[in-house]
Amino acid sequence: MAKTLEDLRLQTRSFLDEPIAADWTDQELNQLINTRYHQVYSAVIATYDEYAELKVATTDLVAGQQEYETQLDFMKMRRVEVKYDVNSSAYQRCFPVSLDEVRRDLGNANQGASVIRGGNYYLRGNIIGLLPVPTEDVVDGMKSWYYATVPDMTEDEDTITLPYPDRDWMLIVYGAVADALNYGQQEPVIADKMETRFKEGIRMMQENLEDRRSDEYKGVIDVSGQLLDFSEWG
């Protein structure tokens, strides 16, 4: 069953022993819940990024312009393709590099053989830079595939986006309760216990996500074709 913002807030209030708003308003708890929701979602993407929605964006290339802003909901880049030639219909893959890996000046516009292999790109904050620098204006010259962030839950009926929401929704609650109890050092001992539950739950969730691909047997397999009997090995 999908878990909503209202479900999380009611459960948070249950732990806080405050079914009716007194010390914490709904808005305050919503903020704490959303903060922990983003942390849990980030932990999911760090382990199993294929779960997230893969979005595609196109960007117009401008002659002489090296850097372009990413999408507002950009979280993690998966693939970039570039079309430097305005008369071409074919995109070439652009390979990621760090700034320290660039062997010559960043403003290099020499396309030469670079165009054949699609060039390179680097990420700097919310900026994507292209190497070499485009020398022509090309409509939709860059195509990027990226994983997006999730928005805050604002309405009571908004649902969380997690691979296994019925199991992991309580992690968000543990974290929100820990933050609430830390306000004014109300219950620091209980807050620490809730924080421990949150962190341990994140670890277990990530372990489970690591094992989502179960189509291969996890053991020793004879790939030599010699029919080796591994049971006789010491």
Q: How confident is residue 107, by pLDDT bands cut at 50, 70 and 90?
A: confident
pLDDT at 216: 58
- Residue 92's closest CA among 39, 45, 131, 47? 131
What are phi and psi for residue 153, nearest 5 degrees?
Answer: -85, 125
- Residue 68's closest CA among 148, 128, 134, 145? 128
pLDDT at 204: 94
* pLDDT tens digits, one per residue of 36-80: 999 999 999 999 888 888 999 999 999 999 999 999 999 999 999
Q: How far apart are CA 32 and CA 224, in angstroms?
A: 55
Q: Is the confidence at residue 217, as pLDDT, over 60?
A: no
Q: How far apart are CA 166 and CA 90, in angstroms?
A: 44
| Mean pLDDT of all residues in 89-94 | 91
**Paired tokens of 184:** 């004014």
Q: How far apart are CA 180 and CA 197, in angstroms?
A: 15
pLDDT at 213: 61
- Residue 81's closest CA among 148, 138, 124? 138
Least confident of 114-128, 190-204, 220-234: 220-234
The pTM (predicted TM-score) of the whole model is 0.76
CA distances from 20 to 26, 28, 213 (A): 9, 13, 44
Q: Is the confidence at residue 101, as pLDDT, over 80?
A: no
Q: Is the confidence at residue 138, as pLDDT, over 90?
A: yes
CA distances from 141 to 56, 63, 102, 136 (A): 13, 11, 22, 10
| Mean pLDDT of all residues in 149-153 | 94
**Paired tokens of 130:** 């292209």
Contact (Cβ atoms closer than 8 angstroms) between residue 135 and residue 109? yes
Q: What is the residue extent of each domain of the chain?
A: 5-48+163-210, 53-148
- Residue 15's closest CA among 32, 34, 38, 1? 32
pLDDT at 113: 44
Of 23-32, 97-106, 116-125, which one has max mean pLDDT? 23-32
Of 43-47, 124-128, 171-175, which one has max mean pLDDT? 171-175
Q: How confident is residue 139, by pLDDT bands cut at 50, 70 and 90?
A: very high
